Structure 1
Amino acid sequence: MQLPGQTNFYKGKVRDVYTIDDKYMVMVVSDRISAFDVVLPRPIPYKGQVLNQIAAQFLDATRDIVPNWMINTPLPNTTIGYKCETYPVEMVVRGNLTGHAWRTYKSGKRELCGVPLPEGMKENDLFEKPIITPTTKAHVGHDEDISREEIISSGLVSKEEYEQLEKYTLALFERGKEIARERGLMLVDTKYEFGKIGDTIYLIDEIHTPDSSRYFYLEGYDERQRKGEAQKQLSKEFVREWLMENGFQGKEGQQVPEMTEEVVGRISERYIELYEVVTGKTFQKHDLNYAEMQTKIEEALKQL
């Protein structure tokens, strides 16, 4: 797809990003799916639409906290927004000892990204208050853990700006938790990306989607913790778990297990389930072709 005024194109793991007149961005969220930094061989129907529509709803619901990049969504899987100068760090915020934080803790370490972790915690326990564990942004390969002190001392982000990013991160996470609670969910952890235009900081990219966040069901959470049982969750973690059960963690020499129609269908259903639970709306499937997409995007760009 070539768009009028297009000055750049970037094909990411799961998104196609078009730069228009070096001022706007058109982000098409594809149905491609990645895990362990590998794009899996088969797309997941409606995944792009799910992610884009959840992100749009949460971007609208947080505009009072921080300006964001989104201008409009001309298609269910497409957002048009402002091109920002991106900060080179991702703000990962955690309310629970889960995922990467738990794996670090389980290995015996009691510090993550310079943040001390208390003794005596179990997997999925709540932290006394949310912690921020930033990572560097990698276009290829893995993002790397980094501490607040390293970010500021290395000049990646100035102290004043980083402190503002922290404030925005915690306020966004609190809003996300409030909305999740209304839906019977717990927002466990997530990540935010920021950029700026001039001196103004903008929230960019997607927020509170199953690809960038982890949710637990609130009902039964305390009981499951008491019994040491796994939490019932809605996130992309189930894809990673399926891959690990089938011997794949993205390591050299490992083969992606066969993605049968049943597996693809099951993953698609889980994404749609998460959309409906998180947004409280019934999912409406949209099947799009490139010709229709191009026409609608061009029409939307004329309105800018």
Structure 2
Amino acid sequence: MSLADSVLAVNNDLPIRTNDPVHSGKVRSVYWLTEADSRRLIEQKGYDVPADTPLAIMVISDRISAFDCIFHGEGGMQGIPGKGAALNAISNHWFKLFKEQGLADSHILDIPHPFVWIVQKARPIMIEAICRQYITGSMWRAYTKGERNFCGIELPEGLQKDQKLPELLMTPSTKGILSGIPGVPEQDDVNITRSDIENNYEAFKFEKHEDIALYEKLLSEGFAVIEKALGSLDQIFVDTKFEFGYVNDVNGQSKLIYMDEVGTPDSSRIWDGPAYRYGKVVENSKEGFRQMLLNHFPDPDVLLNKDRMDERSALANDNALPTEVMMKVSATYIDIAEKITGEKLELSQNPKAEIIEILKNDYDLIV
């Protein structure tokens, strides 16, 4: 079997029993289970949720996106070997740590396969909760152009590129297109301030005003848990994105949880500690892939300029990246996953066949 065969690129065509369309994002596909299957699994597997909770199968892929496009490699390689398994393993590790340390639960109820989560339906808060400990990336680019106010927070003069910030900054943005919020453009992923959230908390889908403080607590404490653990591995937690939502506990009470993924190389920047101390940034995250793309293509403005989206899509579609580039990215994901979890990442030769077999034999979800 070729290396390309071991990559799970298409994850929205599994024969999982569902009455709803499969929802596919850049990396994951979500299969909403029938009400009967949800109820059956909750009872059979003893999931700690109300009996009428809607469940979904979430299948990760090995696809890699950057600059809002999916990229591919030579030889029919439609993703990065090991990437999906690495992302799930890292998220599983952090979610477990959060729960053990009394922060909050996640949406995950079961992990049938390294590529698969069984999750409960959550009511998402419409905020991309971004934390920054260092000034780099888009914040640094804006800072060099004279911007000093980020999401209502004033930054001091004289900061240097990749410098540690005086304190952890929370720089949230909108999740999806929200309408009717004064001063907030009706666009996806626009920066917002804390006062925007406070004054319009219901529009952002907070159930109670006091949950704003809880979300900030879970954000800063979650960041601190990951930062400490990565620090013990001599890795630097630079910045990250968290997502939150509500679920009902077994007694029907609403509670705030972590959802999506957390602390992964896709949602965070992670730098190598020894290299940073020598004045060099070595990325152990997808940021390294982004930088490679900017260097690989002769006109990097295509990747950075939102007005050139059509050209950018064509660039991603028409250019197969060299195999050595794809394998270097693979090594980054696998190495950081093994560092974080302390376990060897077992890679599947045929993940799709394995997933179907497990969901058929152990969960009776295959049609």
User: If the length of structure 2 is used for normalisation, what is the TM-score?
Assistant: 0.76
Q: For residues 193 and 247 of structure 2, what CA distance do their matches in structure 1 show? A: 25
Q: How does 1:45-84 map to 2 (within 5 A)?
A: 45-63=81-99, 64-84=102-122
* Residue 263 of structure 2, aligned match among 186, 191, 208: 208
Q: 1:233 corresponds to which residue?
A: 283
Whichever residue aligns with residue 233 of structure 2, its letter is R
- Following superposition, the deviation at residue 30 of structure 1 comes to 0.2
| Counterpart residue identity of residue 303, structure 2 | Q
Unaligned 5+ runs, structure 1:
225-229
Q: 1:110 aligns with which of 148, 158, 161?
A: 148
How many percent identity over aligned positions?
29
Q: Residue type matched to 1:32 in 2?
A: R
Q: 1:223 offset after TM fit, Å?
A: 4.0
Distance 1:39 1:233 in 2: 20
Distance of 1:184 and 1:260 partners within structure 2:
31
SS at match of 1:234: coil
- C-alpha separation between the residues in 1 aligned to 2:154 and 2:350? 48
Structure 1 segments (4+ residues) deviating >3 Å: 4-8, 298-303
Q: Which of 34, 56, 81 is the matching residue for 2:65?
A: 34
Distance 1:167 1:302 in 2: 40
Q: 2:85–2:345: 8 Å Cα contact kept in structure 1?
A: no
Summarize deviations over 1:94-137 as a string: whole Å, max 9, x none. Answer: 11112122122112100111111111111111112201001111
Given residue 155 of structure 2, which amino acid in structure 1 is its aligned partner? Answer: L
SS at match of 1:50: helix
Query: Over aligned residues, Cα RMSD in angstroms?
Result: 2.1
Contact 1:66 1:203 in 2 (8 A): yes
Give the match's secondary structure for 2:320. coil
Question: Once structures 1 and 2 are overlaid, which stretch shifts more, 141-150 or 96-105?
Answer: 141-150
Highest CA radius of gyration, 1 or 2? 2
Partners of 1:119 and 1:98 in 2: how far apart? 15
Aligned residues: 297
> Quick one: higher RCO (CA 8 Å, sep 6+), 1 or 2?
2
Higher strand share: 1
The aligned residue for residue 16 of structure 1 is 29
Alpha-carbon separation, structure 2, partners of 1:287 and 1:50: 15
Measure, in 2, the Cα distance between the counterparts of 1:105 and 1:298: 53
Alignment of 1:1-304 (within 5 A): 1-20=14-33, 21=35, 23-41=54-72, 42-63=78-99, 64-138=102-176, 143-154=189-200, 155-156=203-204, 157=206, 159-198=209-248, 199-224=254-279, 230-245=280-295, 246=297, 247=299, 248-249=302-303, 251-252=308-309, 253-254=311-312, 255-256=315-316, 257-301=319-363
Matched residue SS, 1:90 = strand
In structure 1, what residue type is equivalent to 2:79?
Answer: P
Shift, 1:289, TM fit: 4.1
Conserved in 2, the CA contact under 8 Å of 1:177 and 1:186?
A: yes
TM-score (norm 1): 0.90
- Secondary structure of the equivalent of 1:295? helix
* Residue type at the aligned position of 1:88: M
Partners of 2:18 and 2:31 within 8 A in 1? no
TM-superposed CA distance for 1:190, in Å, is 0.6
Q: What is the CA distance between 1:260 and its match in structure 2?
A: 2.0
**Structure 2: any 5+ residue segments left out of the alignment?**
1-13, 36-52, 73-77, 178-186, 249-253
Is the contact made by 2:56 and 2:121 (CA closer than 8 Å) also made in structure 1?
yes
The secondary structure found in structure 2 opposite 1:221 is: helix
Which moved further from structure 2: 293-302 or 199-208?
Answer: 293-302
